Structure 1
Amino acid sequence: MSISLSSHVLDTTLGKPAAHMQLELTTYDGKTITGTTDVDGRCKEWQDFEFAAGEYCLRFYTKDYLLAHHKEAFYPFVDVHFELVKNGGHYHVPLLISPYGFSSYRGS
């Protein structure tokens, strides 16, 4: 079973997806892959990277988005560290944001 990854960013203040947010994925072996959320706040394109078991970090660049939509941003970015396991299937890492808070969890 292969491993895949997606993400979804939701603005809890507006009740809408966070479109066009820059993301950066640091892989288990130190590679850096950039991405951007689409108009629905989703990102699943990782430049054809072959995922393997290991620890990863997904950085969400929240500042520009929050300033554009809320005129204030306490968090310039949010890092979510997680571990993928062999034969883990699909992983989904959502981020819920507001100007002064955030939350993440393992989605489906």
Structure 2
Amino acid sequence: MKPSALSTHVLDTAAGIPAEGMAIELWRMEPEPRRLVRTITNADGRTDAPLLPPETFAPGRYELRFEAGPYFAARGADPGYLGTVVLNVGLREGQGHYHVPLLLSPWSYSTYRGS
């Protein structure tokens, strides 16, 4: 079985740059919601360490919470209507590396399972 892990990165598609300085939280949603990680993206729009490395990975439902509104406000941009972007994901054992990129502007966002 492949070891599983979770990572992310954020791209500011309005400016065409990595989203440096964005706060991200990872929550485990079961059996009760519990925050596991709070981190800030680096100059590459990535976290310095995986959100869930293989040694702490557990299957289940998780939420990634990206603080998009404060990120745009700190850059002097109108945050539009985005505040916190919440992605609810289900992670299974043996599926390898889960990478969840976020592409966003003040008006929209998209995501996918990356590699």
TM-score, normalised by the number of residues in structure 1: 0.89
**CA drift at 1:36:** 1.2
Is the 1:35–1:45 Cα contact (8 Å) retained in structure 2?
no
Runs of 4+ residues over 3 Å off in structure 1: 44-49
Name the residue aligned to 1:82.
Answer: 89
**How far, CA to CA, are the matches of 2:25 and 2:69 in structure 1?**
14
Which of 69, 87, 102 aligns to 2:109? It is: 102
**CA drift at 1:75:** 0.7
Name the residue aligned to 2:59.
Answer: 53
Distance 1:36 1:42, change over 3 A: same
Is the 2:5–2:52 Cα contact (8 Å) retained in structure 1?
no
Would you say how many aligned residue pairs link Structure 1 and Structure 2?
108
Is the 2:24–2:64 Cα contact (8 Å) retained in structure 1?
yes
The amino acid of 1:41's aligned partner reads G
Sequence identity, in percent?
A: 40
The amino acid of 1:76's aligned partner reads G
**How far, CA to CA, are the matches of 2:22 and 2:87 in structure 1?**
15
- The answer for unaligned runs of 5 or more in structure 2 is none
CA RMSD for the aligned pairs? 1.8
Encode CA deviations 1:48-95: one digit per residue, 9 max, x unaligned.
671111111000001111112252111111001111111111000000
Is the 1:70–1:99 Cα contact (8 Å) retained in structure 2?
no
> Are 1:26 and 2:35 counterparts?
no
**How far, CA to CA, are the matches of 1:68 and 1:37 in structure 2?**
14
Structure 1 range deviating more: 69-78 or 55-64: 69-78
